[in-house]
Structure 1
C-alpha cells in the first residue's frame, strides 16, 4: 500500500502541472458549464472546494448542440470565435444516476442480461484488467483522436482509461495547430459522450493509478475542470485518499502537504491526519522535509499549532546538529505563519551571542526580520544580542545593498534599538534617492515612514535630526467597528468618544476617549487642540485588533502592533486592546462589562460617585 500511495501522490503532482496549463475556454449550450460563463485560469482548488455547489448549480451535461471556443494560448482557433455544430446527444448522467444505464452503454446487448444479474463492480472485476500494453497498442494502431473513438464505438474491448490515455498519447505527438483541430473533432464525435459516461461509472472501482491516469488525460485533452466528468473523477480520487489514509507511510504523509499545496486544495481533514503522523514520527526526519511541510502550510493558509509546536520542539531539542541556514529558513517560515516558539528563538539568540562569527550578510537580515516581526527581543540578553547583530552589519556595511540596509535598520528601530553608524549611512541623500527610485518604491517608502516615526518618538540620538521628506502613502481603508461603537455609546454616551482618529506618523486609532488623569471619570469630547496634552486630561486609545496582529494562538503582539502601542504611549495615550473576534462573541451586557473594566482604573469601581453614562 505504501508503494501505491506514493505513486498516487506522485501522479497527483503531475496532474497539477497539466491543470495549470489550461487557459480560457468559453462554452455555450453545453454540459460543460452554464451558458455565458467564462472559466479563466482554472485551478484545482476551485474544483475541490466548490464541488458540491458546482454539481448542483452548474454542470450537468457534457456535449449538446454546439461548441464555441474563444481564442487563447491553448484554444482551438487561432483568431476570432468559430462554431462547430454537432449532433444533439443525450445529457450526461447526474451524480445520482451513476449506476449502469444500457441506453448510453457501448457494451453489446447480449451482455446486458448478465449485467442485470450482478453489480457493475462485479462485471468490471471479471473483465480483463487494463495494462499499459493496451494503451500502447491503441496509440500505435491509431493516428488520431477520432481513430481511437472509432475503435471504441465498434466494440469497447478495454476499460475507459485505456482509451483516454491513448488519446492523450496521440495528442502529445501532434503540433499545436493539429492538436486544436483534433480536439474539435473529438468533442464532435458521437461516441465521446459515451466514453465519458463509462469513465464516470468505472471511476469508483478503478485502481488508484488508472484513476489518476484518466484524470490526467481528461484534463490534458482540454475538458474543463467544472464539468461533471472532471468533478466526479476528482471526488473519487479524494474523499479514496481518505479511505486509505491509515495505510499511508510516514513518507506519504509528509508528501501529502506538497501534493495539496500543488493542487491549491486546503483539505483540513487530510492535513490534520497527516500532521499527526508527521509529529508522531518526527525523529530522524530531515529538516528540509519539515521546511517543505511548513512552506506548504503557508501556501494553504493552514495553521496547526500542534504541528508547528511539534516541529519547533524537535528542532530545539536537536539544535546542535542542524546547519544554521536551515534553522533560519525554518524560523522565517514560522514568522510568516505568525508562530513564535520562544525556546527555539532563544537558542538562536544565544548562539549569535556566543558565536558571532556564524553570522554573515545572507543570514543577518532574515534573523532581524524574524525577531522584529514576532516582537521577540524583550527577554534577558536582548541588548547584547542586538549589539552583536548591529556590529556584524556594520562590518559588512559597504557590501550591503541599500534595500538590505533599510530592512536591517527598520528591524532594529522596531525593536527600539538605534545603531548610529547604520542609520547615518541610511540617511545619506544618495541612499534615500536610490530607495525612492527603486522598483519596490512603495514598500521602501513604508519602511522609511516607520524609520521616521521611530526617530521622532523613541528615545534615540537622532530625535533632533532633520525630518525626512518622503512621499505620502495611500490612505489605509478603515473598517467599521459597529459593535464596539454601540457598546461605547451605551456605556459612555455618544458625546464622550471619537471614532477613527488620525494621528501624526500615519497612525490611526479606532476610538479615542478623554478622561481625568486617574481614569475615574470620562470627560465630554470637544474639538479642542490637544497638540500639547493638558495636565488634567488622560487620552485613551481603543484599538480594535484582529487575530493576525498577535502571534499564533497567543496574546503576544506582533512587531508593528507592539511598536504602535509604544509610540501611542509616547504620545500620551493609555492603550486598550479590544480583540475583534472575542468582542463579536459577547452579548451586549457582557461586552459593556468588559469595556467598562478596561476603560476605568481599578480604583474607580469602589467609589460610588462615578458617572458611567450607562443604563447597564
Structure 2
C-alpha cells in the first residue's frame, strides 16, 4: 500500500459521522472575499509560528448569518456575532493588504520573492521569540474546560489551530452530558471562538492532512453544524486532497475508500467510480469481509454501480464452493437492498439450499424467502424443490416461531404463488391474528395480511377459498394518475373511453382502465358497456404506470409485488399493460401515442388494414 495514501485513509477512517457534501454550500457573506493564497517551497508547519501581535484590526466576522445555529443533539444555541477583533497574520496569509517596498515583490502568480534582504534586529528577535507549536495532548492535560483552551489560544495563537479543537474535544469526552452541554455553550459564546474558526479556515489548504482530518472530526463532534461554512470548507479540502492521492491508491486503498466515505456519509461519485473500477478488476482473492464492507458502504451511501455489483456476484458464483451458505446469504440480503438480482448466484444458492437444508434456522429461512420473493427469482429446474424444502423447514419450526416471522414467511410464499398448508393454517389462528393486529408494526402487518387474504381468494388454493379474514382497512393513499399518460390516452382514444384511478377488489389500484371488445380491436365507451349482453364480449384493460423501483435494478424483471399484482389482475379478467414512467416522460407526444397504440390494440387488430382505429392526432 502506498504509504502516503494509506496514512491518509487510515486517519480518515477514524471518523464516524461527518457531513454529506452533495449539498450546495452557502456563498460567502457579503463583504468577505476569500483570499487566494499561493505558497513557495517552505515548511507549512512553521509558516504560522510568527505572528505580529502588535497589529490588530477589526474585521467582519466570517460566520455572519452562517454560524447562528441550534444544535439538535445538545440543545444549546449560539449568539449572532457580527464583528470580532482578531490578530493579523503574516502578509503571506493575508494578501489583501500587501504593499510593495524595496525588499518585497509580489509576482503575477502571487508568490512572494525577497530581494537584497538582510536580517534586522527585529527579525532576529522575532525568530528567537516565536511561539512553539502546542501539543494538543499536553494542552488537554493542562486545561480543565473548553474555555481554558480558548483562553490560551487568545494569548498566543500557534499553528496548527487543529490542536486547539482536538484538545477541546479530548476534554469534552471526559465530561458528563450535562457538563458537556454547558461547556459547549460557553465555547460558542467565548469572544475568541470566532477567531479560532477563521484561523483554521485560513490554514486548511496548507495544513498537514492528519491535522486537517483531526480538526474536521473535532469540529463536528463539538457540535458545529454540518451545513456551516467552517465544516464545509474543511470537508472540501479533505476531499477535492483525496482526489490528488487517487492515482497512488493501491487495491487495498480502493477497497477501504468505500468505508471511509460511508463513515463521512459523503457519496463522492468520482472517488467511488474510480475505486469501483480498481476493486472490480482485482476482485479475485478479495476477502469476503471486504466484499461485505464494500456493499454495506454502498448501501449506506445509496451508491448503485452495476459493474461493481456484477463483478462481486460473478466472483462469488465462480468460487461458490469455498463459501459457507450463511456468508452467501448475507451477500444476497445486501444485493436485495439494492434491488439487484444476481441470477447465476441465486440459482447456485437455490440448488445448494435444496440439497443441504441443515443450515436453515428461522432467521435464515425468513431471510431467504424474503430475498427470493422480493426479487421474484425462479429457476426452472429447482424452484419447486427449493420451495418444498423451505416449506418443510418452516413447518418444522412452527412450535417456536414468532407471529411476526410466521407472517413474513407466509407473505413471501404468497408472493411466489406457493401455499404450504400448515404454516397458513397456523397464521390464520385467531390468537395469531390478534397478536399481529395489536403489537409491532401494525400498519405493515395489516398490509401483509391483506396480501395473504387476496392470494387465498384469487390464486389456486382450493382449501382456503372460503377463508374470510376481518381486517382493518388500509389507509387511503393520495392518487396521482400520470398526467402525460392521461393526455396520450385522450389523444389516442378520445374522452369518455377510459377511466382514471380505479380501485378494484382486494385493495388493488390501477391508473387507467379501458374496455374493449373481446378481440381488442376497438375501444368501447363506458356508456355502451352496459348494453353488451355477455361479459365475454368485453375485455377489460388495466394500465399500470410504474416507477423504476418496481423492477429489479437495471432490468425489466418485475419485483415480487408487481409480479403478484399482474398475476391477480389477469385472474380478475384484465389484460395488463405496464407503462414505465421514466420511459414515457422521455417520449415525444407522437411517439408516446404510437407506443400506447401498440400496447392497447391486439397485434391482429393493428395488422388489419380495414380496422377503423381512432385518430392519433
TM bucket (normalised to shorter chain) is 0.7 to 0.9
Corresponding residue for residue 8 of structure 2: 8
Query: Against the structure 1 CA distance between its residues 247 and 373, is the aligned structure 2 distance closer, same or farther, given a 3 Å change threshold?
Result: same
Query: Against the structure 1 CA distance between its residues 234 and 122, is the aligned structure 2 distance closer, same or farther, given a 3 Å change threshold?
Result: farther
CA contact (8 A) 1:497 1:511 kept: yes
Distance 1:423 1:131 in 2: 76
Residue 552 of structure 2 corresponds to residue 557 of structure 1: no
> The residue matched to 1:479 in structure 2 has which SS?
coil
Distance 2:378 2:357 in 1: 17
Distance 1:137 1:369 in 2: 55
CA contact (8 A) 1:104 1:197 kept: no
> The residue matched to 1:398 in structure 2 has which SS?
coil
Distance 1:281 1:130 in 2: 49
Distance 1:341 1:192 in 2: 54
Corresponding residue for residue 390 of structure 1: 391
Residue 90 of structure 2 corresponds to residue 89 of structure 1: no
Distance 1:58 1:453 in 2: 66
CA contact (8 A) 2:266 2:301 kept: yes
CA contact (8 A) 1:62 1:92 kept: no
> The residue matched to 1:49 in structure 2 has which SS?
coil
Corresponding residue for residue 93 of structure 2: 100
CA contact (8 A) 2:71 2:223 kept: no
Superposed CA deviations along residues 549-585 of structure 1, whole A, max 9, x for unmatched, are: 0111111100000000000000000111111000000
Superposed CA deviations along residues 143-164 of structure 1, whole A, max 9, x for unmatched, are: 5545544544455443322333
CA contact (8 A) 1:84 1:184 kept: no
Query: Against the structure 1 CA distance between its residues 512 and 225, is the aligned structure 2 distance closer, same or farther, given a 3 Å change threshold?
Result: same
Corresponding residue for residue 202 of structure 1: 203
Residue 42 of structure 2 corresponds to residue 49 of structure 1: no
Distance 1:569 1:226 in 2: 51
Corresponding residue for residue 423 of structure 1: 424
Corresponding residue for residue 39 of structure 1: none
Superposed CA deviations along residues 271-293 of structure 1, whole A, max 9, x for unmatched, are: 11111121122112222221222
Return the offset for 1:13.
Answer: 4.3
TM-score, L = length of structure 2: 0.83
Distance 1:474 1:11 in 2: 49
Return the offset for 1:169.
Answer: 3.7
Corresponding residue for residue 601 of structure 1: 602
Query: Against the structure 1 CA distance between its residues 429 and 180, is the aligned structure 2 distance closer, same or farther, given a 3 Å change threshold?
Result: closer
Correspondences of 1:401-412 after superposition (within 5 Å): 401-412=402-413
Corresponding residue for residue 381 of structure 1: 382
> More displaced, 490-499 or 415-424?
415-424
Instruction: Extract unaligned runs of 5+ from structure 1.
Output: 20-43
Distance 2:564 2:609 in 1: 37
Distance 1:3 1:448 in 2: 57
Distance 1:65 1:266 in 2: 27
Query: Against the structure 1 CA distance between its residues 199 and 519, is the aligned structure 2 distance closer, same or farther, given a 3 Å change threshold?
Result: same
Corresponding residue for residue 440 of structure 1: 441
Corresponding residue for residue 36 of structure 1: none
CA contact (8 A) 2:26 2:229 kept: no
Correspondences of 1:133-282 after superposition (within 5 Å): 134-140=135-141, 144-173=145-174, 183=184, 186-282=187-283
Compute the RMSD of aligned alpha carbons: 3.7
Query: Against the structure 1 CA distance between its residues 563 and 58, is the aligned structure 2 distance closer, same or farther, given a 3 Å change threshold?
Result: farther
CA contact (8 A) 1:61 1:92 kept: no
Corresponding residue for residue 373 of structure 2: 372
Distance 1:435 1:112 in 2: 86
Superposed CA deviations along residues 365-409 of structure 1, whole A, max 9, x for unmatched, are: 111111111111252221121111111211222122222121111
Corresponding residue for residue 118 of structure 2: none
CA contact (8 A) 2:197 2:230 kept: yes
Instruction: Extract unaligned runs of 5+ from structure 2.
Output: 33-59, 115-126
> More displaced, 169-178 or 439-448?
169-178
Query: Against the structure 1 CA distance between its residues 486 and 90, is the aligned structure 2 distance closer, same or farther, given a 3 Å change threshold?
Result: farther
Return the offset for 1:56.
Answer: 7.5
Distance 2:609 2:314 in 1: 52
Corresponding residue for residue 348 of structure 2: 347
> More displaced, 581-590 or 440-449?
440-449
> The residue matched to 2:242 in structure 1 has which SS?
coil
CA contact (8 A) 1:544 1:579 kept: yes
Distance 2:2 2:520 in 1: 66
> The residue matched to 1:224 in structure 2 has which SS?
coil
Query: Against the structure 1 CA distance between its residues 466 and 141, is the aligned structure 2 distance closer, same or farther, given a 3 Å change threshold?
Result: closer
CA contact (8 A) 1:491 1:612 kept: no
> More displaced, 225-234 or 465-474?
225-234
Query: Against the structure 1 CA distance between its residues 428 and 219, is the aligned structure 2 distance closer, same or farther, given a 3 Å change threshold?
Result: closer
Distance 2:559 2:309 in 1: 17
Distance 1:317 1:173 in 2: 51
> More displaced, 369-378 or 155-164?
155-164
Superposed CA deviations along residues 116-168 of structure 1, whole A, max 9, x for unmatched, are: 68968999xxx999999733444455555455445444554433223333344
Return the offset for 1:356.
Answer: 2.6
Query: Against the structure 1 CA distance between its residues 156 and 345, is the aligned structure 2 distance closer, same or farther, given a 3 Å change threshold?
Result: same
Query: Against the structure 1 CA distance between its residues 528 and 437, is the aligned structure 2 distance closer, same or farther, given a 3 Å change threshold?
Result: farther
> The residue matched to 1:502 in structure 2 has which SS?
strand
CA contact (8 A) 2:22 2:266 kept: yes
Correspondences of 1:441-460 after superposition (within 5 Å): 441-460=442-461
> The residue matched to 1:544 in structure 2 has which SS?
strand
> More displaced, 168-177 or 64-73?
64-73
CA contact (8 A) 1:61 1:91 kept: no
Distance 2:205 2:245 in 1: 14
> The residue matched to 2:544 in structure 1 has which SS?
strand
Corresponding residue for residue 515 of structure 2: 514
Return the offset for 1:534.
Answer: 0.4
CA contact (8 A) 1:4 1:208 kept: no
> The residue matched to 2:526 in structure 1 has which SS?
coil
Corresponding residue for residue 494 of structure 1: 495
Return the offset for 1:482.
Answer: 0.4
> The residue matched to 1:597 in structure 2 has which SS?
helix
Aligned residue pairs, count: 573
Corresponding residue for residue 505 of structure 1: 506
CA contact (8 A) 2:304 2:338 kept: yes
Correspondences of 1:21-100 after superposition (within 5 Å): 44-45=19-20, 48-53=21-26, 55=28, 61-62=61-62, 74-76=74-76, 88-89=83-84, 100=93
Superposed CA deviations along residues 245-285 of structure 1, whole A, max 9, x for unmatched, are: 12223222222222222332222112111111211221122
